[in-house]
Amino acid sequence: MKKHNFNAGPCVLPRQAVESAIEAIRDFDGTGIGLLEISHRTPGWERIMAETEQLWRELLNIPEDYAVFFVGGGASTQFFQVPANLLKNKAAYLQTGVWAKKAAKEAKYYGDVEIVASSEDKNYTYIPKDYTIPADADYFHITTNNTIYGTEIHEDIDCPITLVADMSSDIMSRPVDVKKYGMIYGGAQKNVGPAGVTFVIIRKDLLGSSERKLQTMVDYATHYPEEARNRSMFNTPPVFPIFVMHETLKWVKELGGLEVMYKMNKEKAELLYNEIDRNSMFVGTAVKEDRSLMNVCFVMAPGKEALQDEFFAFAKERGMVGIKGHRSVGGFRASLYNACPKESVEALVACMQEFENLHK
């Protein structure tokens, strides 16, 4: 049976990226040696590294005065690396979910943290809009897509101070006006590759701007030196996830880039949200205007709660994988990342309709 993968991350990847990764493990770049067995100083690898940076720049239209590099440690490492590098006295955070809260917690090790607004009062089902960004903070941190709760900040906000965004789960899902941000970071494993690599996009004047004495690996400047061939190569880079990311971004480019991705993502999300709103068995959890295009969260409609396990089994029999909601929300979550095909969304919608008919 065909499986429809709705996992929240790690998650579905483009088939062609997986296939070329398998081939590269056997034989990297015609060298007769596998990707996992080469030196990261071989010319073929240096080319992949340079191309990967270039793909990021092209797809996101990243200006020249921004650095792009890749490190290990996941987005969770950035939660402390951001304040280590950028927090002098005070930072401001928008608390839109558990990831945002965790990010703010790490910042407290380095200085004052002001939570400008939080939607914790309603289990993070909305994005707070009524807040003031303190002019005296060193930066304002946002989480653009709240993977667990299915809410998303759909626009690049205007921010009078340095804007830092965790874009782990919506990077490359839409065009982004990078100039509005001082820094963008995230783990690759939601929309651009497998686990094991973290992307950092940072305005060059912020590199090495810290007055704090930083450990070499923590200092962003280490990872983007003058000499291009040493970028993201201070230590051994995670070659496998970077390779898969390279192939994933090639696929995004071949399909036409981020405008095309955005259109496809809007279509897929609309298809599923329309069904949730129409279907008497289910209700969405996030407020409509803040609904995420990437993670669609829904629960059984009032009075139908007892049917939840039955729907899980019903959907599983029809090939649906990974639709269980995060334990803090319950119900269901379908993640519709770039590589999730429209047929999978159509299959889930058909499954929801069939289930409703069965219980009419």
Ligand X SMILES: *Cc1c(COP(=O)(O)O)cnc(C)c1O
Q: Which residues bind ligand X (CB under 6 A)?
A: 9, 74-76, 99, 143, 147, 166, 168-169, 187, 190
**Least separation, in Å, of the C-beta of 346 and ligand X?**
25
Q: Which is nearer to ligand X, 194 or 352 (CB)?
A: 194
Q: Which is nearer to ligand X, 11 or 35 (CB)?
A: 11
d(CA 48, CA 55): 10
Torsional sign, CA 44, 45, 50, 55: positive
In whole angstroms, how close is the CB of 78 to ligand X at the nearest point?
8
Is 251 in the active site? no
Q: Which of 45, 56, 138, 166 is catalytic?
A: 166
Q: How far is the CB of 167 from ligand X (least distance, A)?
A: 8
User: Based on CB atoms, which residue is closest to ligand X, 20 or 191?
Assistant: 191
Beta pairing class for 295-300 and 282-284: antiparallel
As a whole number of angstroms, the distance between CA 9 and CA 189 comes to 6
* Catalytic residue status for 112: no
The count of other CB atoms within 10 Å of the CB of residue 229 is 11
Catalytic choice (190, 219, 268, 290):
190
Question: CA gyration radius for the chain?
Answer: 21
Backbone phi and psi for residue 32, each to the nearest 5 degrees, phi listed first: 80, 5
- Shortest gap between Cβ of 168 and ligand X (angstroms)? 4
- Asked about 99 being catalytic, the answer comes back as yes
CA atoms of 274 and 260, how far apart (whole Å): 21
Return the structure tokens found at 356: 């409703």
Of 45, 56, 99, 170, the active-site residue reads 99
Nearer to ligand X, 152 or 275 (CB): 152
- Determine phi and psi for 101, rounding to 5 degrees: -65, -40
Shortest Å distance, C-beta 309 to ligand X: 27
Quote the CA–CA distance of 9 and 181 in Å, as a whole number: 25
Contact in structure between 221 and 207 (CB atoms under 8 Å): yes
Largest CA distance in the chain: 66
Nearer to ligand X, 76 or 308 (CB): 76
Q: In whole angstroms, what is the distance from residue 92 CA to residue 215 CA?
A: 24
- List, by residue number, the catalytic residues: 99, 166, 190
